[in-house]
Amino acid sequence: MNIESVTAHAFGPLQSGDLRFAPGMTVVTGVNESAKSSWHAAVYAAVTGRRRGKGAPTREERRFAELHKPWDDDQWRVSAVLVLDDGRRIELAHDLNGKVDCRATDLALGTDVSAEIMFEGAPDASRYLGLDRKSFAAIAVVNQAELLGVLNAANGLQEHLQRAAATAGADATAAAALAALETFARDNVGLDRANSSKPLRAAKNALENARADLDAAFAEHARYLELTAVAETHRARADKAAQRTLAAQEKAAALELLVHALQVVAERQGDAARVDDVSKAAVTRRDALAQRVAKARSLSAASTDDAVPAGAPAAEAVARIVAAALARWSSVPDLRMPAGSTAADLAQQLDALPPPPDGDTQVAAAVRDAYQGWTRAVAVVTAHDGRRPPDPGTPSQDLEPAVEAGPSMLRQLAAQLGATGNGNSEQVQYLTDARDQARSEQAAAQASLADATARANAARAAFTTAMAAPPSTTTGRSRVPRYGLVATAAAAAVAAVTTAIALSNVTVALVLGALCIAAAVGAFVVARPEPRHPTSGAVNIPALSAAGHAAEEALASAQERLYAAVTEVASADAQLRAAAASSSAAAEVAARCAARSLPADPGALQQLAARAEQHLEAREAFFRWESESQREARTLAQAESGLLRALADRGVAVGATSTEDAFSAYERACAERAEQAARAARRPEVERALAAREAADRDAADVLAQRESALDALRAAVSVASVGVDPEADPEALRDALIQWQAHYDELLIATEARQRDLSQLDVVLDGSTLDELESSLMAAEEAVAEAAKASDAARRALQEAVVHGEELAADAGAPISAGVDAALSDLTRARQARAAAQEQEMELAAVAENAAGVAAERGRTLRSVAEAEECLVAAEAELARVSELSETLRLTSHFLTDAQEQVHRTIAPVLADTLSSWLPLVTGGRYTDATVNPATLEVKVCGPQRKWRNADRLSIGTAEQVYLLLRVALAQHLSTTGESCPLLLDDVTVQADAERTVGILDLLLALASDRQVILFAQGQEVAEWARVHLIDPRHSSVELTRVAVE
């Protein structure tokens, strides 16, 4: 299909503009604002039109209208003239604004052919290509900077990819079948989620509700039994509460009597206590008077003793002198002479100590760390030198090509050769002969089917003519079994066609459909009710019926033979295509091996791959060892430099000596300074010892002086006291004599003081009375004691009687009488409270029991039926099982169709990849030589001679756009399944390419223009120059646009 011309009646900035295109390649150039992009969009709109239908415009449609509606005109119209490959010229006219005046006209016949290409309410010329306006835009129309937009349309192109691979443009695809199954499953099964209202969720909800209802019924019955038991329990509790109330009332009455008796006992106890107090007071007064009388008699008798000895007061001055001398002697400390080294010895030791050293007394941390780091580095370098691997050197002449290609490439070539090993010419010839033989058998089967069909038609006609005679008697048979045969045949037809489509074999699908439809028609004929027929013997109905049955059997046999022949032809064609592809692939792999100077033998390639891999591994190991060796040497040099710097910082000379010797000399010097520092550190200790010895010597001299002074005092006291001891005697003898004198003097003082105390006490005891008066008072007190004893006996008898009565009442009340009135009153209060609480609890429990009995009775009247709930549960389980079985059936069917869809992808992917691989080196200047395509996402991976695969969309923007331009061209070539060539509408596709790749793209487009129309809009000057040089053939042209005027 070629676009001959496009007229922009009113489109964007264009008004009544016309643009004509060559059947080959047309390059349209122009400066900025020459409406190149507007013309590009106008061509697309003139070919496909705009969607007309219910619903709001999509975002893309709104964006297209915003960009391309006329600036100063309410009209929005374009038209175009197309030339189809069969020679027909079609004029398309589109009212893009109103979407009503849209038509397609055959210019030769003048007829409206809009119905041929109607899509979504408007004529769409891409339908001639087997596409639609969306897929045409994604494949053949490339806007500025939108080469990668095909990735966003991958899902929409899947149906066209499947049609191209499976049915050569037919409308039945696995995707459509999956969509239909999905719709059916959505309506008749649905998703298993909470907010779904479809059958599966409804069945599960119903099952859950039925189970809940059954559980509720069981729970209600259990609850009823519980309520009954609770009512009985509450009644028993109410009865026990009544018994407790009666006991509390009896307890309170007994305690009231006990309280009164205890109050009487308390009164009697008070009386007895008062009488006892009076009796005790009388006894106490009598005893006190008796003691005064006895003490007065004793003191009076002692007053006649001798007087105090004379001379005691005169010795008081001497006693003070003696006491002072003894105290002074006792206060003298013990004399202790100091031991150990003398002060002179300690002073000599102090002079012999050395001064503190100048410098490190131990190895500095920085030096120690640097030395350890240096020793570790030396050990690492030594160990690393011991692990030196052999140097592999340069590979041999036979191994060098293998090393350049790489083990992965060699194994890939070996695998490809192994996979294509049986694609030889003898097998291709054998399969060709088998296919020809199968086609001959198919032709014979078709002829046999035609003959059997004619015979069956003749038999049906004879039977129909015979049955048309007037009936005399009638017979009829039931229609039900025969119409069941019709339904069975129709179902078999649908199943056979669906299976064949899922297997991606259209020929088999058509044959199966034809055979099964014929079977269904035959079954319908058989299923017709038998007409009434005469009993006359003029026509042999049984014979005609038998002949008809024989003809039908022959027809069925011919149909089976044709089906078998068609299947065999399809199998042979598939085997032949596979063998041819294998042979071509084997030749291609062998050529690639020859180009790399490699043997075309899988075993030899595998051996070379192993050797190359070993060589590369050995070379990598040696290079890695060398790199590590250099790194370890640098580390050792850094560690040695750090150690030398640390030693220099500590004042160590690091000139001609080795690093190890310099560290050893520094370490020995530190040890010597440490010994000197240890001796110098004793100076404070010796100084302290010297000071302590000098202080001890001074303390001893002080004690000697005190001792001499105290001894002089002792001698003076001995002389004054005249104790009869020589003053020059031993100090201890002087001290003992003075102590004896003090004891004798103390005895004299004690006797004097005792006489004075007795006289004073007698005056106090008599208290102004005489001894006779005191004795008369004693006799009166004894008479008062006797009267008080009589009153106390009477009070005790009355108390005993009250206690006996109280104990009797306490036994009745069950409380001890010893607790007293207050405890009894507390018990009475608690008993009254307990009685009130028991009465209140009795009333509450009685009310609760009545309420529980009422609740149980009410629940018994509203119980659910457990049997009905069980029946509902069984019904819900059956419904869920039905829906689940249907869901599993649909899942398996979708699984089979998905497998068929994957088979489609495996069919179309190599075709697209081969097409891209044939063009890729030209466009990329040989940088990338091979490509793969994922048909599900349309993602492209490319690789260069080194066979390192890269995602095309992750390359530079220019390279990615060039790769996806080739993908669009490949899609346009293979997705046009009607036989029409698909034109390409390109807008500035070289803007991201450099000069070399721009020429490569233009050369490729020119080559593609040999069998399809290519329209390229560009603004680069190099594109215009290229067009002037290369588009000299009449099939090609170049157009230069002028800048659109702005009013």
DSSP states of 580-593: HHHHHHHHHHHHHH
Q: According to the model, what pLDDT value does residue 1039 have?
A: 92
The pLDDT of residue 644 is above 90: no
- Between residues 543 and 372, the one the model is more confident about: 372
- Between residues 415 and 62, the one the model is more confident about: 62
Q: pLDDT tens, 290-333?
A: 887 787 777 777 655 544 444 444 567 788 888 888 887 888 78
Most confident of 32-46, 233-247, 818-832, 916-930: 32-46
- pLDDT band for 123, please (50, 70, 90 cuts): very high
> Where along the chain do its domains lie?
425-595
The pLDDT of residue 638 is above 80: yes
> 3-state SS of 754-803?
HHHHHHHHHHHHHCCCCHHHHHHHHHHHHHHHHHHHHHHHHHHHHHHHHH
Q: According to the model, what pLDDT value does residue 478 have?
A: 35
What integer is the mean pLDDT of 901-912? 62
Phi-psi region of 1038 (alpha: psi -120 to 50; beta: other; left: phi over 0): beta
Q: According to the model, what pLDDT value does residue 498 have?
A: 40
The pLDDT of residue 39 is above 90: yes
The pLDDT of residue 534 is above 50: no
The pLDDT of residue 499 is above 60: no
Percent of the chain with pLDDT over 90: 8
Average pLDDT, the chain: 77
Q: pLDDT tens, 186-231?
A: 788 787 777 777 888 888 888 888 888 888 888 878 887 888 888 8
The pLDDT of residue 62 is above 70: yes
What integer is the mean pLDDT of 650-679? 81
The pLDDT of residue 491 is above 50: no
Q: pLDDT tens, 771-815?
A: 777 778 778 877 777 877 877 777 777 777 777 777 777 777 777
End-to-end CA distance of the chain: 38
The pLDDT of residue 937 is above 80: no
The pLDDT of residue 989 is above 80: yes
What integer is the mean pLDDT of 359-374? 86
Distance CA 1027, CA 25 (A): 10
Q: According to the model, what pLDDT value does residue 244 have?
A: 81
What integer is the mean pLDDT of 1040-1047? 79
Distance CA 524, CA 487 (A): 9
Which residues does 964 contact at the CB level (< 8 Å), separation at least 6? 147, 148, 150, 151, 940, 952, 953
Q: According to the model, what pLDDT value does residue 504 have?
A: 39
Q: According to the model, what pLDDT value does residue 901 have?
A: 54
Phi, psi of 643 (to 5 degrees): -65, -45
User: Tell me: domain 425-595, CATH 1.10.287, correct?
Assistant: yes
Distance CA 529, CA 1046 (A): 81
- Between residues 65 and 915, the one the model is more confident about: 65
- pLDDT band for 505, please (50, 70, 90 cuts): very low
Q: According to the model, what pLDDT value does residue 490 have?
A: 38
Q: pLDDT tens, 849-880?
A: 888 888 878 777 777 777 888 888 889 888 88
Q: According to the model, what pLDDT value does residue 24 have?
A: 94
What integer is the mean pLDDT of 543-572? 80
What integer is the mean pLDDT of 976-999? 83
Q: pLDDT tens, 253-299?
A: 777 777 777 777 777 778 778 878 887 887 888 888 788 778 777 77
Angle at 520 between CA 514 and CA 522, to 5 degrees: 100
- Between residues 337 and 353, the one the model is more confident about: 353
Q: Is 779 exposed, middle or buried (0-12, 13-18, 19+ CB in 10 A)?
A: exposed
**What is the number of other CB atoms lying within 10 angstroms of the CB of residue 654?**
18
- Between residues 376 and 191, the one the model is more confident about: 376
- pLDDT band for 656, please (50, 70, 90 cuts): low
Q: pLDDT tens, 677-722?
A: 887 888 888 888 888 878 887 877 887 888 888 888 888 888 887 7
Q: According to the model, what pLDDT value does residue 507 have?
A: 39
| DSSP structure class, residue 722 | T
Q: What single string gives the DSSP state of each residue in 614-641? A: HHHHHHHHHHHHHHHHHHHHHHHHHHHH
Find, among 442, 697, 732, the residue nearest to 566 by Cα: 442
Find, among 1025, 1020, 1036, the residue nearest to 30 by Cα: 1020
The pLDDT of residue 150 is above 80: no
The pLDDT of residue 426 is above 50: yes
Q: According to the model, what pLDDT value does residue 307 have?
A: 45
The pLDDT of residue 526 is above 70: no
Pairing of strands 2-11, 77-83: antiparallel
